[in-house]
Amino acid sequence: MGSGTAALHLALLAVGVGPGDEVITTAHTFIATAEPISHVGARPVLVDIDPRTYTIDPDKVEAAITPRTRAIIPVHLYGQPADLRPLLEIAERHHLWLIEDAAQAHGAEYDGKRCGGIGHLACFSFYPGKNLGAYGDGGAVTGNDETLLARVRSLHDHGSTTKYEHREIGYCERLDALQAAILGAKLPHLDAWTDARRAHAKTYNELLQDSRMVTPYESPKARHVYHLYVIRAPRRDEMLERLKKNGIAAGIHYPIPLHRQPAYFKQGYGELSLPFTEKAACEIISLPMYAELTDEQIEYVTEAVKAVQ
């Protein structure tokens, strides 16, 4: 696919989500999770997160189902899989599609299985900053259902399965060949990079143990791949400033929940209250995380963090 956003868009089309439908997802994510739902004419129904994992709360999903609901898009946020077991049960009970937003979760596992092969379809992004990143945009749709995958394949290449025969009006969302070559060269290193990220997370956790920071919770069902290392800080904004002054590239993922984004706010989401999502948006801060980090760099960052607590 041309991008993770295109992957989500075509996955939704492939399962037949369209105008008038509802798709349940989380407000604590990048806007690209919701945009494709809007693009197919459906309505994103935004529900709250589990405050420990930052991923969609399955109980809230069940409560939000209406006769119009067609699909659920859990996001494996920061590299931690959403709680897929109850979500799959809900999907089965209510005859809904489950599409994993795995844009941040290359190599993540849930119940010992790799994300990307658990829901009906899954969508990855290869945006340069991702755990497996190209040098430009890229994405992929994965799954186990050949019929659905064939449909995505056709949609992404002008609606054709045989050259110059177009059975439907499709899209031009092929992965650029140069990006594919780069990804092919990087893919064999992904597992080692993931191990390095996990080791860095452990070092951060140990160094922040005696601080007031809330370090990431790792569900026992999940293998977190730490696309981002996100802590909660009591004086977050001050900390961000301080870290920046010290040359540390910290960030906030994400500062404005989707229901508070101007693009969605004006579509009637303004009344929505998602307390755990809103609280997280005010407290979270992402510390530097990439495979090549050194222990000295992690120490430097944690010292700066502790200086503002």
Ligand X SMILES: Cc1ncc(COP(=O)(O)O)c(C=O)c1O
Residues in contact with ligand X by the rule CB under 6 A: 3-5, 29-30, 32-33, 75, 101, 103-104, 125, 127, 137, 139
d(CA 61, CA 94): 11
CB 116 within 8 A of CB 124: yes
Q: Least distance (Å) from ligand X to the CB of residue 39? A: 12
Provide DSSP, 155-217.
Answer: HHBTTEEETTEESS---B-PPPHHHHHHHHHHGGGHHHHHHHHHHHHHHHHHHHTTSS-BPPP
Q: Least distance (Å) from ligand X to the CB of residue 193? A: 17
> Locate tokens 């430009």: which residue?
136
Considering the complex, state which of residue 77 and residue 208 has its C-beta at the smaller distance from ligand X. 77
Considering the complex, state which of residue 100 and residue 302 has its C-beta at the smaller distance from ligand X. 100
Question: For the purposes of burial, counting CB atoms within 10 Å of the CB of 129, is it exposed (0-12), middle (13-18) or buried (19 or more)?
Answer: exposed
Q: Least distance (Å) from ligand X to the CB of residue 256? A: 14
Considering the complex, state which of residue 33 and residue 194 has its C-beta at the smaller distance from ligand X. 33
- Count CA within 13 A, CB hemisphere, residue 96: 29
Closest CA to 15 of 76, 73, 87, 88: 73
Considering the complex, state which of residue 136 and residue 170 has its C-beta at the smaller distance from ligand X. 136
Considering the complex, state which of residue 86 and residue 136 has its C-beta at the smaller distance from ligand X. 136
CB 248 within 8 A of CB 301: yes
Q: Least distance (Å) from ligand X to the CB of residue 149? A: 19
Q: Least distance (Å) from ligand X to the CB of residue 180? A: 14
